[in-house]
Chain A
Amino acid sequence: MQRHILKIPFIVFFLILLVFFYLLMIDRNPSKIPSALLGSKVPNFEANSLFKKDKFYSSQEFTNEITLVNFFATWCKPCKDEHVYILRLSDEMGLNVIGINYKDKAEKTTKWLKKLGNPYSKIAIDNNGQIAIDWGVYGIPETFVVNSEGIIKYKHVGPITKKIYKEINLLVRGLQ
């Protein structure tokens, strides 16, 4: 019995190192946090629209097609960097992209979109960050993929890169 107790330190050490090794091997980002909303219905919210007089009601959207939701702002540099991919998702892939303008100024956003192009079918204004909180957003830009039944299927934190663009491409095809 005593002999076996003496082996315990080694066994515990071995198991712990196994975990570390596993974590190093898999492709993981230590600062990326998985979304708590995956598989849930889209949060219910209403907001002012940027270009239209009517308000934006989330209950009226997300009902019959795959939709992308992109949180962005003019003061956010990575948002500018990824904008070309948002345009591609909207134009080339013909996806419905809704923009949520986070803590921004309407005139600035209008100018920004005029200059860079507007991929959004609708834009909701989130001045105080409450919509972002409802979506579990913590660092813009963040992009969500919602299926035709209004279920959130995917979230990406940070700017859309070529790699992520491809990922979204594949995902959307799979959902169709």
Chain B
Amino acid sequence: MIFKKNIINIFFIFLLQFVMSGSYAVEPDEILLNKKKELMARNISKNIRCMVCQNQSIDESNASLARDLRILIRNQIQKGKTEEEIYKFLTDRYGDFILLKPPFKLTTLALWFLPLAFVLLGIFIVYFHNKKSIKL
């Protein structure tokens, strides 16, 4: 497994490193040793929006803010905070926008309730249709 030294353009590698030093999503040095805690961190991260990206979670993003938030979440988990506490911490600072799963609030009542209403309406239509067909 020989290392191809003479072809390496050292400057080029440094250039790439420098620009991509935002790190590429979850980095090995962020990963918690406790598997349960790490899973919790990943699950929370998947629900937190990367504020400087287009429609990505901080779990997927390589932005430096995403990394900072991933580390912050892991620190809080190590301190023993619960999921709700961590979400509250983040929404207190960044607003509800940072949550990819919309919160259950008065303003999102319609968002969460309407799909259920649609299903009930669908069931009603089928039932109504069935009833009418039995009559005939």
Contacts and interface: CB of A to CB of B under 8 A. Distances in A.
A and B touch in the complex (CB under 8 A): yes
Interface residues of A, number: 17
B65 A36 contact: no
20 contacts: A33-B95, A33-B97, A36-B92, A36-B93, A36-B94, A36-B96, A103-B64, A128-B68, A129-B64, A130-B72, A132-B68, A133-B69, A133-B72, A134-B93, A135-B93, A136-B93, A136-B94, A138-B51, A138-B65, A139-B51
Interface of A: 33-37, 43, 103, 128-130, 132-136, 138-139
Contacts of B96: 36
Contacts, number: 38
A74 to B, nearest CB: 16
A128 B68 CA distance: 8
B116 interface: no
Interface of B: 51-52, 64-65, 68-69, 72, 91-97
Contacts of B64: 103, 129
Contact of B95 (A35, A134, A135, A139): A35
